[in-house]
Amino acid sequence: MIEVNRLVKWHGVHEILRGIDLRVEKGEVATIIGPSGSGKSTLLRCLNGLETFQGGSVTIDGLRIEAAVRTSDRVSIRRQVCQRVGMVFQDFNLFPHRTVLENVLEGPVYVLGQNREQAEQQARRLLERVGLSSRIHAYPRQISGGQQQRVAIARALAMEPRVILFDEPTSALDPRMTAEVLAVMSDLANDGLTMVVVTHAMQFARRIAHMVHVMADGRLIESGPPSQIFEAPAEEATRHLLSEGLAA
Amino acid sequence: MEENPDASEADAASAVPSQPRIGRLLAAPPQLRVGRLLGAPSQPRIGRLLAAPSQPRIVRLLGAASSHPHTTSRGPRSGVLIRGVGQPEGRSRASWCFSWPPAFLAIGFCLLAADGLLADGLQRVRGAGKLVYGSDMEGGGPYAYPDPDSPRAVTGFEVELMERIGRELGVATEFSQGQWDKLLQILDSGRVDVVVNGYEWTENRARNYAATRPYYIFQFQLMVPRGSSVRSWSDLKRPRPDGGRWTVAVLVGSAADEYAEREGGSEVQVVRFDGATDAMLAVQNGQYDATLQDLPAARFYRERFPGLEVVGPPESEGYYVMYTRSEDTSLRDALDAALQRLIARGELQRLYEKYGIWTDPQHQLGDFTGPLQVVSGRPMIHGWELLRRYQDRLLDAAFVTVALSFGSMPLAMALGLLVAIGRLYGPTPLRVVLAGYVELIRGTPLMLQLFVLFYLLKLPPWVAGIGGLAINYSAYEAEIYRAGLQAIPSGQMEAAMALGMSRSLALRRVIIPQATRIVIPPVTNDFIALFKDTSVCSVITLVELTKQYSILANSTGGAIEFALAAAVLYMMMSVPLSWFSRWSERHLSGGGSKGGAVL
C-alpha cells in the first residue's frame, strides 16, 4: 500500500530525513514513534505530498511521487494522492467558518463533486460513528478539542481514503479527550482501515499497532511488531525512548 | 491722506492690516472662527440672531457679519440695474431658523462686537499701506496667472489693473491666492480687502457686498473643436444630428454656467469643470461639443488650444466688478474714483489692448457714474424653504455619490483581492509587477489618476470616475487583503490540501472566506472613506454631493443649510454601512446560522 524508498529531505542545511525505507501493507496499522525532532511528522507529511523532498520516492496506492518531478506534475500527483489519503492533524485544523456537518461535507461535495444529499447522509453516518450526531450544526469553536478531533477524523473518512495519516492526533488533548479519540481510532483499526500514526501514546501504539517504527535523528532505527519493540528493543535509543514514554 | 481721530488706531493695526485686532488676539480672523465653531464654512449667520433695533451699533455690525454671496441668480441677470450711486438696501434680517446654544451666541456676539472696532475700510488700507486683493491663479489667463517670465510672480490684466489702482490710492497692492468660488467667503473672513477675479455683478452679491462700478464688460464666446459643424450658439438650439443633446463645457458656478443652463434649453447638456482650461482641453479632445467661455479667457487661450476655434458672435453681456465688504463703502468709493480716473485717461483701454481684450462694449465703461444698483429683489429664502427648493439637486448629487461609491467599491475589492492573491501565491515576476502596481497607485493622488483616465485616455466621466476610484482603492484593499490572508493559520491551507483541494479551490472555500471576515472592519472603513473621496470626481465634471453643496452654497448663500443637509445625507449613507459592517462581522463569525459567504 505504501512504499518509501531512500527518502531524503533537506530543510536548508539540515538533513531532516536521511534515507528512509518504509513499507505499510494494506489493512496495517503502523505507528511511528520517536523523540521530538526526529523527523516523524516530516516523514508523514511527505507521504501525502504536503512536504517536498530531495531524494528517493514514495509510492502510495500505486501513485509514485519522486523527488525530481516537475512542479506541475507533482501538483497533480499530490491532488490524486490526497484524494486517496486522509490526514488528521495535531491541531485538528477544522474550518472554523463552517459547521461540523459542513466540515465533513467539504471534501466529498467540493473535491469529489458528490451529490450533496447523498454526501450529507454519508456525513451524518460518519458523525454518528464518531459520536457527534448531536452537534452537527455547531461551529468548531463551540465544541471541545476531543470532539473537534473526532470531527476531523470524520472529515478524513468522508473522502473514503485508502489510508489515513494521523499526525500526533492526541498531543493537544487532555487524558479524557485523548481516550475519546483513541477509542474512535481503535474502532477504525478493527475495521481494517490502513493507518499510519505518529504518536507519543505508547500504550495505544502497543495495543493497536501491527508494526511500530522507531525514528531517531532522521533515520528509521528499528521496526517490528509491538511485542518485539516494547519488550525486546534492540537499540539503546529505543530503550531510552520507551523508558521516557512510560514514565510520562 | 485724510486725518481722522481713528487714524492712530488704524496705524496700530497696521502690522496685520487684513486682520482686525481681535483677529490678532485670537490668532484667526474673527468671522472665520465663528465659522469653525459652527463646523461650517466661514459665513457667520449668528449675527442674525443678534438683530435688535435698539442696538444700532450691533445692527451696523450685522451688515458685515451677514455678508455672504447670496446669488440666487441662477436666474436671469434681470433688468434691475440702475446706473447711479447709493447703497444697496433691503438686506433681509429674517430671523434665523436654527437655534444655536447660548455659548455660541455669546462668542459670536463678542467677535461681532470686536469687528466693530475695525477702522473704516479706506483708512485701514491706507494705514496698512497696502491693498490686499483676493484672486485665484487657477482661473488662469488673462485675469491672474503665474508670470511666464518669472514663474513665481503673478501677472494678468487684473493684476496690472490693481497695480494701477494702488498707485492711484497711494498704496501697495498684494495678491492673495484663494479658491475662486470661495473668494467672497475669504473676503468675509477679513483676510483680503477686495475680491477682483472676473466676478460678475449679480443682484445677490450686490445685496451683500459693496460692488464697485464695472471694470470690464464681458461677453461669452463659444469655442468648438476645429472643423465642427457648430458655428454659433444658435446652432446649439437645433437638435443634434444623432438625436442626443449638445454637450457644452463651462466653468462651474460662472456666469457662463448660468447662461448655458438658462439659454441652452432642452437641447443642451451643461458639463461643469473646475477650471476654464480644463473645459477647453476636454472639448479639444473631442469629449464635448463646445465650451462657452468668458471672452477674455477665450481670446487668451485661443493660441494655446490650436484644436479649438472661436465661432459665432459674442453672446450676452455682463459686468466684472470688484467686491468689498459692505461696510467698507469708503474703500469702494475710492476704488470707483480710481477706476474713473484710469478710464478717463485711457489707461484702462491701453491695458486691455495689451491683453487683446478691448472690445467695443468697453466704450460704455465710462458711462457709469457709480456702482450698479439693485432696485428691488426677491426676498432671500433660508432654512427649510431653501432646502426644499433645491432638494432635487441635492438628491441628484447624493445619487451620484452613491452610484460612484457602489459602482467602484465592489470593483476595488475584487481587484484588490486578485492583487493580494497574486502577491502571495503568484510566480515571482507577477509578485514584482503587482508590488509595483500597489506602490504606484498608492503613491499618486486620486485626482491625477482621474485626470489621466479622463483627459489622456478620454474615457467618459462615469467610466473614468468609477474606474479611477476602483483602481485607486484596489491598491489599498490589496494590502488589507494581503494582511487578512496572511492572518489565516497555515494549517488551514494544509487541511484543505490534505482533502485534495487545488490551491485555488482551497483559497475560494477555506482561506478567502476566513480572510474576508478579518478584513470587514478595515474594508468598511475604506468604503466610508471612498464615499467621501467621490468628491474628487468633480474634477472630471461629475457633480456629486460635495460639489453640489459648494455650488448651492455659493449661488444661494445658504452655506449652513446646505452644509448641514450634505452632512446629514453623507451620514445617512455611511451609517448604514457601519451597521452592515458590524452585522456581517457577527453574522460571519461562526455564531450565526450560516457561514460560507464568499466575498
Name the phi and psi angles at A14, rounded to 5. -95, 130
Is pLDDT larger for residue A74 or for residue B178?
Answer: B178
B590 touches chain A (CB under 8 A): yes
Specify whether the CB–CB gap between B291 and B223 falls below 8 A. Answer: yes
Q: What are the tens digits of pLDDT across the range B516-569? A: 888 988 998 899 899 888 989 988 888 889 888 887 876 776 778 888 999 999
So what's the pLDDT on residue B241? 83
| pLDDT-based confidence at residue B53 (cuts at 50, 70, 90) | very low
Domains of chain B, start order: 7-88+97-215+321-375 (3.40.190.10), 228-315 (3.40.190.10), 384-591 (1.10.3720.10)
Find the range with the poorest average confidence among A110-124, B92-106, B389-403, B428-442.
B92-106
A95 touches chain B (CB under 8 A): yes
Find the range with the poorest average confidence among A143-147, B33-37, B280-284.
B33-37
A155 interaction partners in chain B (CB closer than 8 Å): 499
B587 interaction partners in chain A (CB closer than 8 Å): none
Angle value at C-alpha B160, between B156 and B164, nearest 5 degrees: 165
So what's the pLDDT on residue B142? 87
The C-alpha cell at B212 is 464697485
Q: Which of A65, A78, A97 to mutate to test the interface with B (most CBs of B within 10 A)?
A: A97
Residues in Cβ contact with B470 at an 8 Å cutoff, skipping those fewer than 6 apart:
B407, B408, B409, B411, B412, B415
The CATH classification number of A2-247 equals 3.40.50.300
Question: Cα–Cα distance between B119 and B127 in angstroms, integer?
Answer: 9
Contact state of B497 with A99 under an 8 Å Cβ cutoff = no
Place of cell 483616465: B453
Q: How far is A228 from chain B (nearest CA, A)?
A: 33
For range B413-420, the mean pLDDT = 95
So what's the pLDDT on residue A150? 95
Place of cell 459692505: B326
Q: What are the tens digits of pLDDT across the range B424-477? A: 999 999 999 999 999 999 999 999 999 899 888 988 889 999 999 999 999 999
Question: Cα–Cα distance between B39 and B254 in angstroms, integer?
Answer: 27
A96 interaction partners in chain B (CB closer than 8 Å): 514, 590
A89 touches chain B (CB under 8 A): yes
Using a 10 angstrom Cβ sphere, with 0-12 exposed, 13-18 middle and 19 or more buried, the burial of residue B78 is exposed
Listed residue (B212, B186, B215) closest to B198, CA to CA = B215
So what's the pLDDT on residue B589? 59
So what's the pLDDT on residue B487? 94
Question: Cα–Cα distance between B226 and B566 in angstroms, integer?
Answer: 41
A93 touches chain B (CB under 8 A): yes
Distances (CA, A) of B345 to A87, A185, B339, B366, B581: 99, 110, 10, 11, 70
| pLDDT-based confidence at residue B95 (cuts at 50, 70, 90) | very low
Chain B residue with CA closest to A85: the answer is: B498
Contact state of B491 with A89 under an 8 Å Cβ cutoff = yes
Q: What are the tens digits of pLDDT across the range A196-247? A: 999 988 888 888 899 999 999 999 999 999 999 999 888 888 998 888 765 4
A119 touches chain B (CB under 8 A): no
Nearest CB neighbour to A82, from listed B492, B499, B595: B499
So what's the pLDDT on residue A40? 93
The distance in angstroms from the start CA to the end CA of chain B is 75
Contact state of A50 with B494 under an 8 Å Cβ cutoff = yes
Beta strands in B405-482 (DSSP E): none
B510 interaction partners in chain A (CB closer than 8 Å): 95, 106
ipTM of the predicted structure? 0.93
Specify whether the CB–CB gap between A105 and A81 falls below 8 A. Answer: no
So what's the pLDDT on residue B521? 87
